[in-house]
């Protein structure tokens, strides 16, 4: 399995052959609670790192999901339209949001690996 990279806003990206699969972390989905709607980006949209790319709505709140890296959206997880709870059940697998072609792979250097992210969320309490 490819390595996960995380943002301080709790998005993750898994990169394989220049394509990044993006979602929200297990920590994020637990904080938000049961997902009720995911507003996904359109295919073909270009995002810079940090741009708002999607919105995750839960029973508790709506939260913006930011692009962890710069790129062009190549695919969306349309299954989330009918079953947004997949984000809660499997945030690193079936609960992915979208895939994008990375236009600036060096963006990964500003992200945390799994060990650093675990330390980060432990600091949050």
Quick check: is 120 in a domain?
Answer: no
* pLDDT number for residue 125: 77
Quick check: is 55 in a domain?
Answer: yes
Whether the predicted pLDDT of 59 surpasses 70: yes
Whether the predicted pLDDT of 1 surpasses 50: no
Q: What is the CATH number of the domain that holds 38?
A: 2.40.50.100
> What's the pTM?
0.95
Q: What percent of the chain has pLDDT over 70?
A: 98
Q: Which of 102, 85, 109 is nearest to 17 (CA)?
A: 102
Domain that holds residue 10: 4-103
Q: Residue 41's pLDDT band (boundaries 50, 70, 90)?
A: very high
Q: Residue 2's pLDDT band (boundaries 50, 70, 90)?
A: low
Quick check: is 94 in a domain?
Answer: yes
Whether the predicted pLDDT of 78 surpasses 50: yes
Sign of CA dihedral 124, 21, 95, 67: positive
Task: Give the mean pLDDT of 33-41.
Answer: 97
Using alpha carbons, list the distances in angstroms from residue 36 to 41, 83, 101, 118: 17, 8, 28, 26
- The tally of domains found in the chain comes to 1
**d(Cα 113, Cα 111) in Å, to the nearest integer?**
7
């Amino acid at each position: 399995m490819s390595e996960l990279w995380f943002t301080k806003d709790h998005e993750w990206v898994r990169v394989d052959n220049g394509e990044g699969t993006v979602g929200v972390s297990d920590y994020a989905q637990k904080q938000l609670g049961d997902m009720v709607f995911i507003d996904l980006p359109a295919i073909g949209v270009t995002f810079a790192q940090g741009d708002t790319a999607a919105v995750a709505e839960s029973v508790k709140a709506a939260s913006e999901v930011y692009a962890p890296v710069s790129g062009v959206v190549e695919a969306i997880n349309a299954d989330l339209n009918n079953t947004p709870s997949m984000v809660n059940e499997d945030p690193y697998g079936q609960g992915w949001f979208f895939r994008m072609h990375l236009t600036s792979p060096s963006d990964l250097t500003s992200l945390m690996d799994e060990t650093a992210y675990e330390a980060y969320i432990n600091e949050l309490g």
